[in-house]
């Protein structure tokens, strides 16, 4: 493996998780649905532990967690843009629309997060030097959480949009009810939602 790219991945992942704390903090200011609020509050707490886990990975791998790079700055900018988008939606004075924007922003953030942890898991399978065990342990704990964050929030986003369109929404979404943690499970949950609407 290319050590420089491994470092870049770890640092981008750390930056993204740090931004994720801000994304969830802002999304919680936009949420109306109490079930979704409870879920996002849990995800915020998990995201904070992900930051700590990646700081520990940096330490174990001999990486300066404050090291900056052009691509890390891009990741930071994307997170800031998501936060700004939610604030603009909130300022527009339409709470239901702001909630949908928040769900969309969380889905976008979690899509990157999901990819980061998938890649970190692949790295952990091949890493043999400093930090290998720390990274492996973090991946084993966190990757399932990231699956849940992505698939559940996608379900919420879809159903909130459907509700806003004046159609029958399934809330909480089947992804939440079935505790989905795989793409296949998410596809089945979406089909269940379609059946419930008929």
pTM: 0.95
Domain contains 116: yes
> Cis omega (within 30 of 0) on the bond before 63?
no
CA distance 83 to 113: 16
Domain contains 188: no
* Token pair recorded at residue 152: 């559940």
* Token pair recorded at residue 163: 């509700």
Domain contains 196: no
Q: How far is CA 91 from the centre of its chain?
A: 24
Domain contains 160: no
Range of the domain at 34: 3-150
CATH of the domain at 9: 1.20.1260.10
Domain contains 186: no
Domain contains 29: yes
What confidence tens digit (pLDDT) does each residue in 1-18 have?
899 999 999 999 999 999
- Of 166, 53, 168, 40, whose CA–CA distance to 105 is shortest? 40
**Three-class DSSP labels, 137-169:** HHHHHHHHHHHHHHHHHHHHHHHHHHHHCCCCC
What confidence tens digit (pLDDT) does each residue in 89-127 have?
999 999 999 999 999 999 999 999 999 999 999 999 999
Domain contains 81: yes
Domain contains 79: yes
State residue 129's pLDDT score.
83
Number of domains, the chain: 1
């Amino acid at each position: 493996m290319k050590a420089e790219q491994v470092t870049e991945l770890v640092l981008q992942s750390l930056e993204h998780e740090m931004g994720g704390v801000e994304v969830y903090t802002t999304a919680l200011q936009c949420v109306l649905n109490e079930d979704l609020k409870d879920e996002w509050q849990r995800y915020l707490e998990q995201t904070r532990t992900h930051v700590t886990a990646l700081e520990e990975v940096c330490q174990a791998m001999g990486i300066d967690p404050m090291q900056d790079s052009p691509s890390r700055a891009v990741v930071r900018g994307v997170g800031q843009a998501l936060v700004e988008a939610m604030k603009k939606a909130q300022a527009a004075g339409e709470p239901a629309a702001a909630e949908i924007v928040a769900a969309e922003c969380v889905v976008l953030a979690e899509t990157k997060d999901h990819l980061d942890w998938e890649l970190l898991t692949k790295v952990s399978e091949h890493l043999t030097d400093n930090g290998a065990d720390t990274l492996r342990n973090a991946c084993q704990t966190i990757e399932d959480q990231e699956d849940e964050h992505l698939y559940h929030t996608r379900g919420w986003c879809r159903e909130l949009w459907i509700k806003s369109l004046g159609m029958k929404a399934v809330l909480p979404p089947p992804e939440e009810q079935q505790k989905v943690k795989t793409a296949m499970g998410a596809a089945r949950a979406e089909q269940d939602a379609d059946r419930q609407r008929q």
